[in-house]
Structure 1
Amino acid sequence: MDLQFIGIDPETGNVGSPTAWVDNSTADIVLQSYTADDATRRACAENTAPGHAKGIPVGETVIRIPVHLVPLLRKACDVAEQARL
Structure 2
Amino acid sequence: MALRFFGKDPDTNGDDCPTVWVDDGTADMVLQGWKADEATEAECLSVGRIPDGEAVIRIPARMVPLVRKACDAAEQRSQLL
Aligned to 1:57: 51
Per-residue deviation, 1:15: 5.6
Per-residue deviation, 1:38: 0.9
Q: CA RMSD in A?
A: 1.3
- Listed one character per residue, the Cα deviations across residues 34-74 of structure 1 (whole Å, up to 9, x for unaligned) are 0001111111112x1xxxxx321221110011011111000
- 2:8 touches 2:14 (CA, 8 Å); kept in 1? no
Matches of 2:39 and 2:77, distance apart in 1:
36
1:76 to 67, 70, 76: 70
Matches of 1:4 and 1:16, distance apart in 2:
18
Q: What percent of counterpart residues are identical?
A: 54
Aligned to 2:36: 36
Structure 1 residues 75, 2: closer, same or farther in 2, change over 3 A?
same
Per-residue deviation, 1:16: 3.9
TM-score (normalizing by structure 1) = 0.84
Show structure 1 runs of 4+ deviating over 6 A. none
Matches of 2:39 and 2:73, distance apart in 1:
33
- Gap runs ≥5 in structure 2: none
TM-score (normalizing by structure 2) = 0.88
Aligned to 1:19: 19
Number of residue-to-residue matches in the alignment? 79
Matches of 1:59 and 1:44, distance apart in 2:
15
Matches of 2:14 and 2:23, distance apart in 1:
26
